[in-house]
Amino acid sequence: MVQVAIIMGSQSDWPTMREAADILDALGVAYEARIVSAHRTPDRLWDFGKGAADAGLKAIIAGAGGAAHLPGMVASKTRVPVIGVPVQTKALSGVDSLYSIVQMPKGYPVATMAIGAAGAANAGLMAAAILANGDPALAARLDQWRADLSASIPEVPSDD
Ligand code: RP5
């Protein structure tokens, strides 16, 4: 069963959100990716949020840019943990997206990542970490991924 959904406000968000998908692929975590816009497809958003828990989702990664209402609106419709990714915008460099996602009112949390590609990759890791709590094999793969990253960091800077 697919336990992670990656949703985004627009096709234009996919190059960023693919970073989350790549991490989940690397860790062997199945996911579904869908375009669900808070403004352009509000009915799709409502239906997705309403059905998320019954569909068996354990984490939702939601990325949007600008007036980035998608993560917060999904969080208002489901208790499934929502991980928000502020997509970097041209006009305001993603600060608009960050503020739109991070300032949720008490009661409806969104776990907000950094702006852009790093935030999307970390969203994938966060979703994997949530699933790893109940999946020892995934926990081992995530531990190995972290150890590999650590081992890849040189101790001495290079001029090359
Ligand atoms: C938001 O508006 C989307 O999440 C996207 O980041 C931004 C721009 O969308 P497009 O005009 O590129 O479709 O809803």
- Mutation test residue for ligand 1: of 7, 11, 12, the one with most atoms within 8 Å of CB: 12
Q: Does some domain include residue 102?
A: yes
Token pair listed for 23: 């991490």
In a domain, 156, yes or no: no
pLDDT value at 152 more than 90: yes
CA dihedral 141, 142, 144, 149 (to 10 degrees): 140
- pLDDT tens string 55-69: 999 999 999 999 999
* Number of independent structural domains in the chain: 1
pLDDT of residue 18: 98
The predicted-structure confidence for 106-143, as pLDDT tens digits, reads as follows 999 999 999 999 999 999 999 999 999 999 999 999 99
User: Could you tell me the CATH number of the domain that includes residue 95?
Assistant: 3.40.50.1970
Nearest Cα residue to 4 out of 100, 130, 95: 130
Instruction: Report CA-CA distances (Å) from 120 to 38, 42, 91, 130, 134.
Output: 19, 23, 20, 15, 23
Give burial (CB, 10 Å; 0-12/13-18/19+) of 102: middle
Its domain, for residue 14, covers 4-151
Q: Which residues are annotated as a binding site for substrate?
A: 10, 13, 40
Residue 91 included in any domain: yes
Pick the residue whose CA is nearest to atom 7 on ligand 1.
65
Q: CB within 6 Å of ligand 1 — which residues?
A: 9-10, 12-13, 37, 39, 64-66, 87
CA distances from 97 to 7, 28, 29, 65 (A): 15, 29, 27, 5
The verdict on residue 160 lying in a domain is no
Is 137 domain-assigned?
yes
8 inside domain? yes
> Does 112 fall in a domain?
yes
